[in-house]
Amino acid sequence: MKKIKYIARIKRYNPDTKESYWQDFPVEVEDSLTVLELLMYIKDKIDGSLTFRAFCRSAICGSCAMVINGRAGLSCKIQAKDKIRNGVIRIEPLHHLPVVKDLVVDQEPAFDKFKKIKPYLVPDPKKVPDSLNSESLVTPEEFKLYDKQTDCILCMACYGSCNALEGEEKYLGPFQLTKAFRFIADSRDGVDIEERIKLVEDHGIWDCVQCQMCLAACPKGIKPAEDILELRRIAKDSGEDNPGTRRAKHWFADVFATGQIDKWHLPENAFGDEVGKEMTKQLEEEFRARGLKEEEFGPQPFDGIEQFQKFLKRLVKEAE
Amino acid sequence: MGKKIGIYPGCCFQGADVHNYDILVAFLKNMDLEEVLLDRSACCGGGVIDETNKLIVYGLNARNIALAEEAGVDLYTPCNTCYMIIAKTKLALDSDPKLKEKINEILAEEGLEYKGTATIYHTLNLIRDFIGLEEYKSKLKRKIEGVKVAPYYGCHVLAPNEVALDDPENPTLLKEILEPLGVEIVDGYKNEYTCCGYHASYTNPQQKEQLAVKPLEGAKEAGADLVATPCPLCHKAMDGHDEPIIQVLQLINVACGMTPEEALFHYNKTPVNLAL
């Protein structure tokens, strides 16, 4: 077995002294270690006080998520040698959760948010028989809609790398919203879609900044940011009226009309209030100050727009 | 005239942001590239049309790529988000023959076909792979000295991993592009990789404001005079605060001999002063 030398740079936290600091552990170890095995090696051979949470070592229990080189993931699923950058691996606890000790975070605040979305199936009596003698049928097509999302192991890697939480700590979080989508998509669920959507409105789907970090973090290949777009679509289709749903409607109408969005009118169209109107007016003044003609304020249809509109109509039809 | 490149003008190059198009055209001229404007291209969807239907996003962007392929060129956009969405579409179509076939059937309405031959470029990989770093350096005419610049990538060129343009865990490309301009690089600053919040501008403006200032403040704390981003959307979100931010293409244009006025510095809300 080949041995390699590098530095494990680990963010420590001592709850007794409330001291947080980076500590370098120079190691010479086999090149086949996972990050978790590296941590176990350090705990065993160098510093017994190093604290981390782990259990199954098989990427299924979801205990060992942490931030490695700035990206969250499961330490048991990641090869240490792939993570060496300039001779160093940086390991720190998940972000946005209180640190208990070293790499162990308190998951409760994220679970408290999770509970808000009703993360369980409420059987629809029309779909789920109350007798055990008959089955509750789900077709493969129905299951395909949320198959991937059922793989979530609640490891919180997405939560620990979420940018929306950086700006708004009340934000529900990515895995919470993925689960909300999963139950809305489940044909056996008896909760009204409108009710489920209401559960994800407050500091939920509209706080997401679509940075895509949750896609990069998920050890199961789930795409919470894309599920959030689905939830926004469902909110729009179920009649929700807010800046987000109005933005989506105008966006599509603008693209249909000219091929491009009209940023000039977007504020008044999306916000639909005095603030929005004022923003659109301000833009107008800016354009005039720049010497732009009115036809240059917003997009104009390109040559051949009718052809494009035919294409788009057909695309929408196919998409339905 | 040099090599031809297809220009995809997303929403941040027209209407309210038409100066970004002028910055882009000047950059192409400075790099001796010939612009093939994809003038029938349409909005990438901006992550918002996904809220209508994902297939529509694939269709729109397959069409955008097909327009480049019809013209026999690759597709270049400086916008991080346009790049990410178009690159995601390319990945989806290239890995799913059924989807490709379905989309091509619809594209035939306009006499177009998605072949999958065009490469999708953003400023970062355009300079590295299409122009070449050495060739790029040879086009620079002067050094911009005495200014400490903090590189700010923005999210969509580093995530998701499948379309990342550099090692997301230790990106160096932006530094390699900025350093030859003569500026001093300040990296490793606090919130260097925090999102600018642009995409919450309409859904939660407060959220956007909270985020936009974080990288700016981190860069200032680390001693930077100026933040430089390749993405016009990040620029739009972060410009107008106390700390100045500039688009990488504007800096390159100045290093290629243009005056700050010619590089359209006067459209930046927070003044950027370079001692040239």
Report the CATH number at residue A80: 3.10.20.30
Spatial contact of A102 and A51, defined as CB atoms under 8 Å apart? yes
Classify B7 as helix, strand or coil.
strand
Do residue A211 and residue A307 come from a single domain?
Answer: no
Mutation target among A71, A91, A212, A314 for the B interface, most CBs of B within 10 A: A212
Taking 70 as the threshold, does the pLDDT of residue B73 lie above it?
yes
Specify the pairing of strand B75-76 against strand A99-101: unpaired
Burial of A6 (0-12, 13-18, 19+ CB in 10 A): buried
* E strand residue ranges, A95-227: 99-101, 104-105
How does pLDDT run across A263-293, given as a tens digit for each residue?
999 999 999 999 999 999 999 998 898 888 8
Please list, residue by residue across A244-281, b when 16 or more beta carbons sit within 10 angstroms of its beta carbon and e when fewer do.
bbbbbbbbbebbbbbbbbbbbbbbbbbbeeeebeebbe
Do residue A23 and residue A98 come from a single domain?
Answer: yes
* Per-residue tokens: A307: 């052809």
**Residues forming a β-bridge with A255:** none
Do residue A64 and residue A175 come from a single domain?
Answer: no
Within chain B, which residue ranges are assigned CATH 1.20.1050.140? 4-121
pLDDT of residue B19: 93
pLDDT of residue B1: 64
In degrees and rounded to multiples of 5, residue A113 shows phi and psi of -70, -40
Cβ atoms < 10 Å from Cβ of A314: 17
∠ Cα B176 B177 B180 (to 5°): 85
Average pLDDT over residues A157-174: 97
Could you give the CA distance from residue B145 to residue B218 in angstroms, rounded to a whole number?
22
Do residue A250 and residue A162 come from a single domain?
Answer: no
> Could you tell me what percent of chain A has a pLDDT over 70?
100
Q: Which residue of A has its CA nearest to B200?
A: A209
Question: Whole domain around residue A86: which residue ranges?
Answer: 3-104
Question: Cα distance from B139 to chain A (closest Cα, Å)?
Answer: 31
Could you give the CA distance from residue B234 to residue B23 in angstroms, rounded to a whole number?
16
Query: Measured on CA atoms in the order A205, A209, A212, A218, is the torsion positive or negative?
Result: negative
pLDDT of residue A100: 98
Which of A78, A104, A130 is where one domain is finished? A104
Query: Measured on CA atoms in the order A162, A165, A171, A172, is the torsion positive or negative?
Result: positive
* E strand residue ranges, chain A: 3-14, 19-30, 65-68, 71-74, 88-92, 99-101, 104-105
How does pLDDT run across B219-234, given as a tens digit for each residue?
999 999 999 999 999 9
Which of A104, A122, A145 is where one domain is finished? A104
Angle between helices B54-70 and B80-94 (to 10 degrees): 90
Classify A294 as helix, strand or coil.
helix
pLDDT of residue A186: 97
Q: Give the CATH number of the domain where residue A212 resides.
A: 1.10.1060.10
A168 contacts B202? CB cut-off 8 A:
no
Do residue A165 and residue A251 come from a single domain?
Answer: no
Spatial contact of A89 and A68, defined as CB atoms under 8 Å apart? yes
Mean pLDDT of chain A: 96
How does pLDDT run across B12-28, given as a tens digit for each residue?
998 878 899 999 999 99
How does pLDDT run across B39-56, given as a tens digit for each residue?
999 999 999 988 778 899
Question: Cα distance from B54 to chain A (closest Cα, Å)?
Answer: 8
Could you give the CA distance from residue A212 to residue B85 in angstroms, rounded to a whole number?
11
- State the pLDDT confidence band at A21, using cuts at 50, 70 and 90: very high
* B203 touching chain A per CB within 8 A: yes
CATH of domain B4-121: 1.20.1050.140
Could you give the CA distance from residue A185 to residue A143 in angstroms, rounded to a whole number?
8
Question: Cα distance from A58 to chain B (closest Cα, Å)?
Answer: 22
How does pLDDT run across B175-227, given as a tens digit for each residue?
999 999 999 999 999 999 999 999 999 999 999 999 999 999 999 999 999 99
B203 contacts A206? CB cut-off 8 A:
yes
User: CA of B265: how far to CAs of A249, B143, B273, in Å?
Assistant: 34, 17, 9
pLDDT of residue B250: 98
- In whole angstroms, what separates CA A220 from the centre of its chain? 13
Do residue A55 and residue A34 come from a single domain?
Answer: yes
pLDDT of residue B211: 98
Do residue A73 and residue A130 come from a single domain?
Answer: no
Sheet containing B226-229, strands listed edge to edge, beginning at the edge strand earlier in sequence: B184-185, B148-151, B226-229, B245-247
Nearest Cα neighbor of B243 from B263, B224, B260 is: B224
Within chain B, which residue ranges are assigned CATH 3.40.50.1860? 141-267
* B100 touching chain A per CB within 8 A: no
Could you give the CA distance from residue A229 to residue A193 in angstroms, rounded to a whole number?
15
Mutation target among B189, B202, B206 for the A interface, most CBs of A within 10 A: B202
Which chain A positions have a beta carbon within 8 Å of B264's beta carbon? none
Q: Which residue of A has its CA nearest to B17?
A: A263
How many domains, in total, are found in chain A?
3
Spatial contact of A245 and A229, defined as CB atoms under 8 Å apart? no
Query: Measured on CA atoms in the order A49, A52, A53, A59, is the torsion positive or negative?
Result: negative
- State the pLDDT confidence band at B125, using cuts at 50, 70 and 90: very high
Q: What is the DSSP code string of B105-149? A: HHHGGGT----S-SPEE-HHHIIIIIIIHHHHHHT--S---S-EE
Architecture of domain B141-267: 3-Layer(aba) Sandwich (3.40)
Could you give the CA distance from residue A229 to residue A239 in angstroms, rounded to a whole number?
16
How does pLDDT run across B84-102, given as a tens digit for each residue?
999 999 999 999 999 999 9
Which of A237, A256, A272 is where one domain is finished? A237
Question: Which residues make Cβ contacts (< 8 Å) with residue B41, sequence separation at least 6?
Answer: A259, B8, B9, B63, B64, B67
Closest partner CB to B199 (pick from A210, A215, A304): A210
pLDDT of residue A221: 97
pLDDT of residue A149: 98
